Structure 1
Amino acid sequence: MKPETPAELAADLMFLLNQATYALATDMSAGLTHLGVSTRDYCVLLTAQTGELTQKELGDLCSLDKTTMVVTIDGLERAGLAVRQPSSTDRRARIVQVTDKGRDLVKEAREIVDGIYAGILDELPARERSVFVDSLVRLVGAGGRLAEPSHVGPAIRRRGTRSVN
C-alpha cells in the first residue's frame, strides 16, 4: 500500500483485498512470464490435474467464462500442455487432461508460485501466517461468505454500435 493512501481506504476491506489481489497477480505474472504461461494458464493446468473435469467444471473452478475458457484451452492445446478428451458420461462434454509436458510445466511453475507465496507470508510473524491463510480459506471456501457472488447476476452483453459505410 502506498504511503499516501488515505486512512479511510487503508481500513476498507474491499480496497485491501483488491490491492492484495492486484499485487499478487502482478508478482505471479512476472514470475511465470519466462515459462511462457499466464496466471490463467497456470490456474487451468493446476486445477485440471485434480481430477477428470469438463471444460465447464474447470471454468467454474477457475472463475472463467465459457469463451475465455475455450480460448485458454485452445492455447494450451497448441502448446502441447493439455488435450480435450470426450467424456465417458456425456457425449457433449470434453474432459481437459494435462499432458506430460503440461505436468512438467506445472511443477516448475509451482516452485515459482510457492516462492512468491513464501515471500508474501514471510512479511507476517510466523504465528499469524496460518491464522491468515486459514481465515481466507474459511471466507472463500465452500460455504464461506465470499465463496461466490451472492447478488450478482450473469454479465449482460450489449451489442456495440455499428457504423454504416
Structure 2
Amino acid sequence: MSGHGAPVVTVDGSGLRVAVVAASWHEQVMDGLVDGALRGLADAGVQSPLVVRVPGTVELSVACARLAPRYDALVALGVVIRGGTPHFDYVCQGVTVGLTQVSVTTGVPVGFGVLTCDTDEQAIARAGLPGSVEDKGHEAATAAVATAVTLRDLDAAAAGR
C-alpha cells in the first residue's frame, strides 16, 4: 500500500519563502495537490507562498530552477498517467532528474509532489481530494519546509551560532 510507513512531520516554517510550482494537466488532480500543498504550508506557518502554474510536468524543472535563487524551498506538483507509449517513462525520468538537479545544484529543497500513476483512479486517490486516501501535495510541502529548516539549522551550526 502506498503511503504505508510515512512519517508524521511537524515543522515550524515561519519566515520561510516558499513557492509552489504546479502543472496544469489533469485539472481535478492538480487542484487537489495545490490545495494540499497550501494546507501543508499553512500548517507549517508559511505565509503568502507564491503559486505558479506551468503547462505540464516537464516544465516544472525549469520553473523551479528560475525560482530557486529567490526562495528557501520549492514544492513541485504534477501528475503523469501511464499511456500506451513510452512517453510516461521519459517524462517521469526527466522530471525526477531535473528536479533533483535543481535541488542539489542550488541547495534549495524541492518537495517532490509528482504523481506517477498507472490510472486516473490512482492519481485521484493520492491527490488529497474528498475521499482520497493520501494527500501528496501536503506531504511534498511539509517535506520541503522540513528540509529547509534542517538546512538552515545546519548552516547556523556550521557558523557556530
TM class by shorter chain equals under 0.3
* Higher relative strand content: 2
Relative contact order (alpha carbons < 8 A, sep ≥ 6): 1 or 2 greater? 2
Q: TM-score, normalised by structure 2?
A: 0.24
- Return the structure number with greater helix share: 1
State the TM-score, normalizing by the size of structure 1. Answer: 0.23
